[in-house]
Structure 1
Amino acid sequence: MNFIQTLAISALPIIFAITLHEAAHGYAARHFGDPTAWQMGRISLNPLRHVDLVGTLLVPALILLISAGGLLFGWAKPVPVNFGNLRRPKQDMLWVAAAGPGANLAMALGWALVLKFAIGSPEFAYAEALREMALVGVRINGVLMVLNLLPLPPLDGGRIVTSLLPHRAAWKFSQLERWGFPILLALLFLGVLDTILRPLLWLFNSLIRTLFGF
């Protein structure tokens, strides 16, 4: 499969995985009392409202090209959340943060169902393309879910940890947020991030295979 074919098949699951992750944060924030994202028109299932030219389109395309389809990564425009507006800021932060990875889990399960259908159905014109698209959907959502659950601010996992810690420890831990992205980049370039993610993704994929009988 050439790059153009890989890009065409991967585009839909990648865009939805990245953008609906952000939309889920907005829905959860509104539910728990913060209307910021809703007032800015960011609570939407329309991917165009969340697409970031660089993070949603250019970076995933370049990574697909460089890795020959072996790696997927990207981001969308972050949904604005004012945690101070939440009814119980510290406790509700957990649910707002968990909504993004939760959306990725739901999409991974949905794509796994599509894959099960495509594998079990008689061959048809686009059967192979559908199988490949479903595989990408499971893979990208698994990566985004596991990556975002790492306990490092400003990742969702970091906000979940902040929510669970006592107030003083939570405040100190949250100070890591300014260094979160540089730390993540350092882990990526040093190969540590791959070492951390690989066994977690293996476990996730094993659970998917067990659940759906692949």
Structure 2
Amino acid sequence: MDFTGIFRQIIISAPAILIAIVFHELAHGWVAYKLGDNTAKLSGRLTLNPVSHIDLFGTIIMPFMLLILTNGQWVFGYAKPVPVNPYNFKNPRSGMALCAAAGPFANLVVAIFCTIIIKWILLPFMGVIPGFIFDPLVVILKATIMINIILAAFNLIPIPPLDGGRILMGVLPLKYSQLMEKIEPFGSLIVIFMIITGLTSVFVWPLVKFFFKILSLF
């Protein structure tokens, strides 16, 4: 096992994961707050402080285990879900859909921002900026882009409690939305099954490619 490679990947991935999950969860809470629900604000979750969003398993244990099991080739994580009370919204269904969409949208914005930094700020000064600063900065920014894109695509899988499922529940006719509510208690098990069997790639990777096409415009 390449412990040097794993350690290097931890240094690269840790800030990328924290940036991705913090902005993802902050976006959920911020949109909820703007729509009239201050649950996230009262819970201290409208902050960029990563400590407020860290989940022991999803942010620390799982990414570390993935790095070990994949020999430093793959890492993924998640944060504590931001508490949202849809009954504080004027329209609970559409409000919840907007809150859900805010997370993946924020990840896409972060990826675009990092792309702009690389293409329009760093690359024009290649050779001017010292290599010991330029090279690791580009590597971390590229990792941040990749993790944000994957996190956005994964969360858009249309199965509750993932964001894609929440969005779908908000736009479908009420009777179909209520049917999805019945599926939600088993949603996590369905997603785990999809991950184990590789079914998530059927949805995630085409969406990842689509997002990268968007990034190529910048």
Same fold at TM > 0.5: yes
Partner residue in 1 for 2:122 = 118
Partner residue in 2 for 1:26 = 29
State the aligned residue count.
211
Select 1:211's aligned residue among 203, 207, 217: 217
2:217 is paired with a residue of what secondary structure? Answer: helix
Is 1:61 aligned to 2:68, yes or no? no
Give the deviation of 1:69 after TM superposition: 4.1
Select 2:165's aligned residue among 116, 133, 158: 158
Q: Report percent identity of matched pairs.
A: 36
1:211 is paired with a residue of what secondary structure? Answer: coil
CA distance change for structure 1 residues 71 and 25 in 2, over 3 Å: closer, same or farther?
A: same
Is 1:105 aligned to 2:111, yes or no? no
Q: In 2, Cα distance between the equivalents of 1:151 and 1:26?
A: 20
Letter aligned with residue 217 of structure 2: L
Select 1:70's aligned residue among 53, 73, 97: 73
Where in structure 1 do 4 or more consecutive aligned residues deviate above 4 Å? none
Partner residue in 2 for 1:39 = 42
Per-residue CA shift, 1:157-180, capped at 9, x if unaligned? 111111111222211122111111
Letter aligned with residue 212 of structure 2: N
Select 1:95's aligned residue among 93, 98, 104: 98
Is the CA contact 1:115–1:130 (under 8 Å) kept in the aligned structure 2?
no
Is the CA contact 1:17–1:104 (under 8 Å) kept in the aligned structure 2?
yes
TM-score (norm 2): 0.91
Is the CA contact 1:28–1:99 (under 8 Å) kept in the aligned structure 2?
yes
Give the deviation of 1:35 after TM superposition: 1.1
Aligned-residue CA RMSD (Å): 1.5
Give the deviation of 1:136 after TM superposition: 0.6
Is the CA contact 2:5–2:72 (under 8 Å) kept in the aligned structure 1?
no
Q: Which runs of 5+ in 1 are unaligned?
A: none
Q: In 2, Cα distance between the equivalents of 1:25 and 1:67?
A: 31
Q: Which runs of 5+ in 2 are unaligned?
A: none
Per-residue CA shift, 1:76-115, capped at 9, x if unaligned? 0111111111121112112111111111011111111232
Give the deviation of 1:205 after TM superposition: 1.9
Q: In 2, Cα distance between the equivalents of 1:67 and 1:172?
A: 37
Is the CA contact 1:21–1:101 (under 8 Å) kept in the aligned structure 2?
yes
